[in-house]
Amino acid sequence: MLVAGIRIFSGRPLLARQIVTSGGLCNAAATVNFENDTQDTLVDSLVKQGLVQSPRVEAVLRALDRRDFTFTHMGIPSHVSYRDSQVPIGQGQTISAPSLHAICLELLATHVAPGAVVLDVGAGSGYLTGCLSLLAGLEGRVVALERHERLVEQAWRGLIRGLVPILGDVGRSQGGGTGAAALGLSPLRVHNIELFHGNALEERALAAVGAGGPFDAIHVGATAREVPASLTELLRPMGRLVLPVGPPVGMQSLTVVDKAADGSLSSRQVRDVKLAPLAPPNAEKPL
């Protein structure tokens, strides 16, 4: 199998097709495995639960090691990186559970073909950003936005660590970005990724990342009370947006929004999730 121009082999049969029922991703996982101790055993578990269904998603998850994106040097045992649970990454934030990453990748993969242009809002650790980068391939592009400046730098380092073993030497730089310099925002770059520091609900940050659109796919890693029109406007016709929608406290619904060729929108709810909300504008600025 080719991912980002690199052939990745998997010696394991894809069991997901034998397990997934008509309930699809929503009802596929009956248990959560906390005993994984390597990236391969983690992906094995996700496949057996039916959460990983496509060969492309399986190959990407096997290739990109989750441990490169977790704070294992802060007293967290390395094997914790492979458990199906959230892991703290600093700044009061966490890397999402692998099962949620798998579900989001499956929902997005059909719209992240090689050469696709993708937006990742709330990049956090950078792990899902890296997975989307591999799905988009050498001709694709991923624009990522994260509101915590330290996490932007941390994600950049994690992406360098994670992508080098797959791709060999990867380009890395600061500055550039279509339309970003004029707005005073300068991204960190690695491979086909631009990492921006900013809040998606602030006009300047959204304008900077939006200059790289329109996007074939958009992922949002934080909850919104309703689907933001500012993000659906950035979708290309036939594009897809995946985000949690609901109240900031309690459960939300992981929601898929598709834009038709004529620009009309349709949405469906996939499963219950519980994630932190998108921060309001100026949340990081002192009063």
For the chain, how far is it from start to end, CA to CA, in angstroms?
52
Cα separation, 103 vs 53, in Å, equals: 9
Count the helix, strand and coil residues of the chain and give each as a percent rounded to the nearest 5. 35, 25, 45
Work out the widest C-alpha separation in the chain, in whole angstroms.
56
Concerning whether 96 is annotated as a catalytic residue, the answer is: yes
CA distances to 90, 91, 206, 253 from 69, rounded to whole Å, are: 11, 14, 25, 26
Choosing from 10, 54, 78, 96, which is the catalytic residue? 96
DSSP string, 73-117: GGT--GGGGGSSS-EEEETTEEEPPHHHHHHHHHHHHTT--TT-E
DSSP string, 218-270: EEE-SBBSS--HHHHTTEEEEEEEEEEES-SSS-EEEEEEEE-TTS-EEEEEE
One-letter amino acid of 231: L
Cα separation, 201 vs 50, in Å, equals: 34
* Residue 186 exposure: Cα atoms within 13 Å on the Cβ side: 6
H or E element in which residue 121 lies: strand 117-121
Cα separation, 118 vs 216, in Å, equals: 6
**Cβ-contact 228, 244 below 8 angstroms:** no
- Which residues are catalytically annotated? 96
